[in-house]
Copies of this chain bind each other. A is one copy, B any other.
Amino acid sequence: IPPQDVRAGAFALLNAAPYFPPGTVHVAVVDPGVGSARRPLALQLDTHFFVGPDNGLFNFPMGAFPIDPSAFAVVHLTNRKFWRRDVSHTFHGRDIFAPVAAHLSLGVPLAELGDVIARNATDVRRVLAATFALPSPKDTRDGAVGEVIHIDRFGNCITNIRAWRVADGQPVIAIAGRRIVGVRQTYAEVERGELLALIGSSGYLEIAVREGNAAQTLGVNVGDEVRVVN
């Protein structure tokens, strides 16, 4: 995860967390506000637990879990009994989050870790969205306008446009002044070095270059606009 890139951390969690076994405690620390007023949190999302800072890291992953209203909760970590004795101001991963996660994994109930500030899916969503809201694509007359939300290590540009917004047939994808016609299923359907659009393995529309780096080729950054015309 690049330094301070909360969004990249959130996207990594979205893609990896659901594939761990039920009961897993995930510790996630991308924490530029460490030691400041941002709260340390522990969450339950369905059968998974998450521990880390209240800065948006856990907003994407929430969308990956089935919503059972009674199996969602957020606790503001305040019970120092489960922390290291000496807590630094700059490394809560070591001093708060890892020890709390260790206790959780040994069976300490979530509610003992601090103050319960959300007890159901609606409230959890509200708490998480307060620090960072995933930008939603906007509907247009014949498609949608979204944006690049992640660039992976291959240079693939993942957008916030989910598969259901992209029609079968020959939609036109516009990005960085380029037009891509049609959505492919595999990279190998185009020539090496050619630009393509496909639905990536997370279920989002993705712009790629076969055996190349789309972000570099297009000069695209996170936040840049992507338009779908169906």
Whether A3 contacts B94 by the Cβ 8 Å rule is no
The secondary-structure label for the interface of chain A is loop
Residues of A near any B CB (own CB < 8 A):
3-4, 19, 32-38, 88-91, 94-95, 153-155, 185-189, 198, 200-201, 210-211, 213
Q: A3-B154, A19-B94, A94-B19 are in contact. Are A89 and B186 (CB under 8 A)?
A: yes
Cα A88 to Cα B36 with chains together (Å): 42
Contacts of A32 in B (CB 8 A): 187-188, 210-211
Interface pairs (18), CB distance under 8 Å:
A3-B153, A3-B155, A4-B211, A19-B94, A32-B187, A33-B188, A34-B186, A34-B187, A34-B188, A35-B186, A36-B186, A36-B188, A37-B188, A38-B188, A88-B201, A89-B198, A90-B200, A91-B201
Q: How far is the CB of A111 from chain B (nearest CB, A)?
A: 27
Most B CB within 10 A of own CB, among A3, A34, A38: A3
